[in-house]
Amino acid sequence: MAAEAQTLSHETVHPLQAGDPDVWQIISAEQQRQEHTLELIASENHTSPAVMEAVGSCLTNKYAEGYPGARYYGGCQYHDQVENLARNRAKQLFGCEYVNVQPHSGAQANAAVFFALMQPGDTFASLVLSDGGHLSHGMKINFSGKYFKPVHYPLNYDLESDGYEQIDYDAMRKVCLEAQPKMILCGYSAYPRIIDFKKFREVADECGALLMADIAHIAGLVAGGAHPSPFPHAHVVTTTTHKTLRGPRGGMIMTNDEEIAKKIDRSVFPGMQGGPLMHVIAGKAVCYGEALKDDFKQYAKQVVANAQTLAKTLIESGYRLTSGGTDNHLMLVDLSAKDADLTGADAEQWLEAAGIVTNKNGIPNDPRPPKITSGLRLGAAALTTRGFKETEMVQVGEFIDRVLSSKGDAETAKRVRSDVVDLCKEFPLPH
Ligand code: DSN
C-alpha cells in the first residue's frame, strides 16, 4: 500500500513543482506564453521534447574538461560516447571533417575562432554591423572590436540597382584588397538573401585571407539543403544550434583543415572555456540526429516557402522589405514605407500585446537609434515547427497589418490576440 502510494505520488507530482513551486510556476507560465503566442523572432525556434529531455538529464552533473579519450576527470565514458556521437552526426550533417561541439554559444564559438586564427591587433573584414552583422563581428565594445581591428564592407546602396541592399561583392573585394585582412567574415543576423560563399572565397584567396562563415541563422537551412553550404569554400564555419537548426542553446565550430581544427580545439578548451556543458552536447546530438532525417529537409524547404509567403503578404499590404524580399527564413521590414512615424519599438510592443512576438531591428542606413529603429525583423522557423504552411502565413501577415494599421489600438490588439490564440490551438507545439 505504502509502495503504491509512493508510486502514485511520484507519477502525479512533478519534482520541480513539489520542490520549488516558485520556479515551477514561472516556467509553467512561460510554457503557456510559448504555446499561445506566434513566435516570429528570427533567431528562435521550438526545440523537440527529445532535445529538452537530453538537456534536462543527469549529464549536467559531470565535469568533462578535455575531449573524448583525453579528459581531466574520471568517469567520463558516457560523456565520451555522447560527444563522439554529436561530432559524428554533425560531420555527416554538414559534410565536413572536424567539429568542435563544446562552445557554449555562437559568440563564444566566434571568439574561439578569432583567438585561434588571429593575433590580437590583426585586421579582419566583416559587414557594416548596422547592415545586419552580429556584435561578435567587430562591435567596438565586444572582444572582436576591442582586441582585433575590423574593417567593414557595405551592402549595395544604389537604389537603381537590382542588388539594392544586398551584399556588394565588388565593394567587399575592394575593401579586402585594400585592408589585406587576416580573415574575412561572412554570415549575418539580419540578412535575408543567399550568401555566395564561393565569391567570398575567391576574394579571400586573392588577398591571402582565411574565410570564416558564421551560419548561425541559416544552419538549419544549410543542413536541410535550402541554402548553399559554406563548404568547401569556408576555411572555418561557426554556428549556433538553436535557431533554424532547432536544437538546444549552444554553439559549434566546423572545418575541413586538420591544422585549423587543432588550433580551434585548443582555443575552445583551455583557451576560452572550462568544463563543457555535457547535457547540452547530448541535446546537440539529438538535434543533429533529427536534422539528418528526411523530414528535416521538408521542414527547411517549408521555412523558406513560409517566409516568402509572409513577405509577399506584407508587401501587398504596403510594407517595404529591405532588398525587396527574402531567400531564407527571415525578412527585415522597413516600417517607414507604410507609415513614416511608425518605429520598430512601437511595432514590437503593439504586436506583443496581440500575441505576436517579434524584434525591432535597424535597417540599412536607419536614421533612428538601435533602441527605436525603423525596422522589424521577422522569421518563419518557429511557426513552421508548429506546422504552419502558406495559408497560415497569409493569416499571420494580415494579423500584423491589422495591429500596425490600428496604431496600437487596444481593442484591435484584443481581437487579434483572440484570433492568435485560436490559431495556436489548432497548431500545438511539439509535445
Ligand atoms: N541574438 C541573435 C539574433 O537574434 O540574431 C544573434 O546571436
Distances (CA, A) of 88 to 101, 153, 348, 381: 10, 35, 40, 25
Q: Is 214 a catalytic residue?
A: yes
What is the value of pTM for the model shown? Answer: 0.96
Q: Is 288 a catalytic residue?
A: no
CA of 239 to the centre of ligand 1 (A): 11
Question: Average pLDDT for residues 321-326, to the nearest whole number?
Answer: 98
Q: Is 412 a catalytic residue?
A: no
pLDDT digits (tens, 9 = 90+) for 202-216: 999 999 999 999 999
Pick the CATH number of 55-291 from 3.10.270.10, 3.40.50.720, 3.40.50.2300, 3.40.640.10: 3.40.640.10
Cα of 268 vs its chain's centroid, Å: 20
Check residue 12 and give its pLDDT: 65
Q: Whose CA is nearest to atom 1 of ligand 1?
A: 43
- pLDDT-derived band of residue 431, with 50, 70 and 90 as boundaries? confident
Distance CA 112, CA 414 (A): 46
Q: Is 249 a catalytic residue?
A: yes
Distance CA 386, CA 342 (A): 30
Residue with cell 510592443: 349
Distance CA 243, CA 223 (A): 12
CA of 240 to the centre of ligand 1 (A): 9
- Cβ–Cβ under 8 Å, residues 178 and 30: no
Question: Average pLDDT for residues 107-118, to the nearest whole number?
Answer: 98
Question: Average pLDDT for residues 348-363, to the nearest whole number?
Answer: 98
CA max distance for the chain: 81
Question: Average pLDDT for residues 399-421, to the nearest whole number?
Answer: 98
- Helix, strand or coil, per DSSP, at residue 257: coil
Q: Is the pLDDT of residue 1 over 60?
A: no
What's domain 302-426's superfamily in CATH?
Aspartate Aminotransferase, domain 1 (3.90.1150.10)
Which ligand 1 atom sits closest to the C-alpha of 105?
7
Q: State the cell numbers at 227.
A: 541554402
Q: Is 43 in the pocket of ligand 1 (CB under 6 A)?
A: yes
Find the catalytic residue in 37, 240, 244, 373: 240
- HSE-up of residue 412 (Cα within 13 Å, Cβ side): 16
Q: Is 66 in the pocket of ligand 1 (CB under 6 A)?
A: no
- How far the first Cα of the chain sits from its last, in Å, is 33
Q: Is 65 a catalytic residue?
A: yes
Residue with cell 574520471: 74
Cα of 86 vs its chain's centroid, Å: 19
Q: Is the pLDDT of residue 9 over 50?
A: no
Which of 189, 332, 373 to probe ligand 1 with, by most ligand atoms within 8 A of CB? Answer: 189
Residue with cell 551584399: 167
Q: Is the pLDDT of residue 302 over 70?
A: yes
- Name the DSSP class of 428: P
Q: Is the pLDDT of residue 11 over 90?
A: no
Our CA angle for 203, 94, 259, nearest 5°, is: 60
- pLDDT-derived band of residue 14, with 50, 70 and 90 as boundaries? confident
Q: Whose CA is nearest to atom 4 of ligand 1?
A: 43
For residue 209, what are the contacts with CB-CB under 8 A and spacing of at least 6? 125, 176, 180, 181, 182, 183, 184, 203
Q: Is 134 in the pocket of ligand 1 (CB under 6 A)?
A: yes
- The DSSP annotation for 339-377 comes to -TT--HHHHHHHHHHTTEE-EEE--TT-SS-TTT-SEEE
Three-class DSSP labels, 102-158? CCCCHHHHHHHHHHHHCCCCCEEEEECHHHCCCHHHCCCCCHHHHCCEEEEECECCC
Does 387 or 11 have the greater pLDDT score?
387
Which ligand 1 atom sits closest to the C-alpha of 41?
4
Strand partners for 415: none
Q: Is 202 a catalytic residue?
A: no
Cα of 425 vs its chain's centroid, Å: 26
CA of 415 to the centre of ligand 1 (A): 31
- Name the DSSP class of 73: S
For residue 267, what are the contacts with CB-CB under 8 A and spacing of at least 6? 112, 113, 115, 116
Find the catalytic residue in 89, 173, 243, 284: 243
Q: Is the pLDDT of residue 194 over 80?
A: yes
CA of 66 to the centre of ligand 1 (A): 28
Domain boundaries, the chain: 55-291, 302-426
pLDDT digits (tens, 9 = 90+) for 16-55: 999 999 999 999 999 999 999 999 999 999 999 999 999 9
Q: Is 251 in the pocket of ligand 1 (CB under 6 A)?
A: no
For residue 238, what are the contacts with CB-CB under 8 A and spacing of at least 6? 103, 106, 109, 110, 113, 187, 212, 213, 214, 215, 216, 251, 252, 253, 254
Check residue 2 and give its pLDDT: 43
Q: State the cell numbers at 400.
A: 500584423
Return left, alpha or beta for 126; rule: phi > 0 is left, psi -120 to 50 is alpha, else beta. beta
Q: Is the pLDDT of residue 184 over 60?
A: yes
Q: Is 106 in the pocket of ligand 1 (CB under 6 A)?
A: yes
CA of 23 to the centre of ligand 1 (A): 26
Which of 43, 217, 252 to probe ligand 1 with, by most ligand atoms within 8 A of CB? Answer: 43
Distance CA 183, CA 198 (A): 15
Specify the amino acid at residue 30.
Answer: E
Q: Whose CA is nearest to atom 5 of ligand 1?
A: 189
* Number of residues written out for the chain: 431
- Name the DSSP class of 225: T
pLDDT digits (tens, 9 = 90+) for 73-105: 999 999 999 999 999 999 999 999 999 999 999
Q: Is the pLDDT of residue 359 over 70?
A: yes
CA of 106 to the centre of ligand 1 (A): 9
- Cβ–Cβ under 8 Å, residues 164 and 99: no
Which ligand 1 atom sits closest to the C-alpha of 106?
7
Kindly state the percentage of the chain with pLDDT values over 70: 97
- The DSSP annotation for 189-216 comes to SS--S---HHHHHHHHHHTT-EEEEE-T
Check residue 4 and give its pLDDT: 44
Find the catalytic residue in 35, 62, 65, 402: 65
Q: Is 173 in the pocket of ligand 1 (CB under 6 A)?
A: no
Find the catalytic residue in 149, 174, 199, 249: 249
Q: Is the pLDDT of residue 429 over 80?
A: yes
Domain 55-291 shares a fold with domain 302-426: no
CB atoms within 10 A of CB 327: 21
Mean pLDDT, the chain, whole residue set: 96
